[in-house]
Amino acid sequence: MITVRELTDKEEMLKYILVLKELYPSLTPEEYATELDQMLPHNYGQVGVFEEERCLGLSGFWIGTKLWCGKYLELDNIIVSEKSRSQGVGKLIFDFLHKKALEHDCTMLSLDSYTSNFKAHKFFYNEGYSPKGFHFINILKEDKVR
């Protein structure tokens, strides 16, 4: 049976680092624990899709407020395990977070995506997302970017 649920604390999030390592192979458990310590106090959460106890996919999310849009939910690091792709796992994540955004009275959902990730872009369009602008970056520490 496949279920979708929120991961409730740092220890539970740390258990599923292998899914994150599919996107970020260089991520160490120590780095991940430190980054969670920095993110969790700032409205960061995670949702996972599970078959029994096997994690098929994860997404982080942030709930915040910006002047231009008010309250929003941002999907962060949407990862579906390679063995579970094209089986509806991403759709389950998006549906769960869409419902969560409505429950929290959010004005919109948002996400960032690398410009070269064309397969994901098609999925995002099919889920009702469209580009609004550009996300510009100025990298200060190249060796820290995964």
User: What's 42's domain CATH number?
Assistant: 3.40.630.30
Angle at 116 between CA 129 and CA 23, to 5 degrees: 90
Position 135 scores a pLDDT of 85
Answer whether residue 141 is part of any domain.
Answer: no
Whether the pLDDT of residue 119 is over 90: the answer is no
Answer whether residue 145 is part of any domain.
Answer: no
Q: What is the mean pLDDT of residues 20-28?
A: 95
Domain extent for 21:
2-129
Answer whether residue 125 is part of any domain.
Answer: yes
Answer whether residue 51 is part of any domain.
Answer: yes
Q: What is the mean pLDDT of residues 94-108?
A: 98
Answer whether residue 107 is part of any domain.
Answer: yes
Q: What is the pTM of this model?
A: 0.91
Answer whether residue 82 is part of any domain.
Answer: yes
